[in-house]
Amino acid sequence: MEEGNYQKLKDRQSHSVQLHNMGAKMNIHSKGVPIDPLTLRYEQTEKGRQMELKDQDKKIDSLVRAHKLQTWGTSGYNIITGQRSLTVEEMVPENNYGQFHQKLGHYYEKFRIKPENL
C-alpha cells in the first residue's frame, strides 16, 4: 500500500473513532434506539429524554387528531346504543392535559376555527 493511501486510511479511521466518541456514530455493538426493549423504559441519557419527549408529543398529536375527528364526525352519542360516547378529552392522561389543550388551541388557531368550549 502506498504511503499516501495508508495515511488516508488512518485519517479516516481516526475520524470515525472521534465521531463514535462524540456519540455521533454508533459502533456495531451499540443499540440504535435509546430504549430498553425488555422493560420498554427510556435510557437515562440525553437521547433517551429526547426520544421520550418526541414519543409523548406524537401521542398528544394523535389525541388532537382524534378529538378533531370526533368533533366533526359524531354527535356525541353512539347511534346503535343511544348512549353518550366517551370523549377524547376524557381519555387524555392528567399529566398531559395542559399540553393537549395547548396543541388543540394551536390547531383551532391554525384553521381559524372557533371551538365551542376551549
pTM confidence score: 0.57
Geometric angle at alpha carbon 103, from 90 and 117, rounded to 5°: 55
11-63, pLDDT tens digit by residue? 888 877 777 666 555 555 556 778 888 888 988 888 889 999 999 999 999 98
- pLDDT: is 97 or 114 the higher one? 97
Instruction: pLDDT band for 91, please (50, 70, 90 cuts).
Output: confident
pLDDT of residue 18: 74
Residue 77 near residue 83, CB atoms below 8 Å: yes
- Domain coordinates in residue numbering, the chain: 54-118
Report the phi/psi class of residue 7: left, alpha or beta, with left for phi > 0 and alpha for psi in -120 to 50.
alpha
Mind listing the pLDDT tens digit for each residue in 100-112? 888 888 877 776 6
Give the C-alpha separation, 71 to 34, whole Å: 36
Count CB-CB contacts under 10 A for residue 64: 22
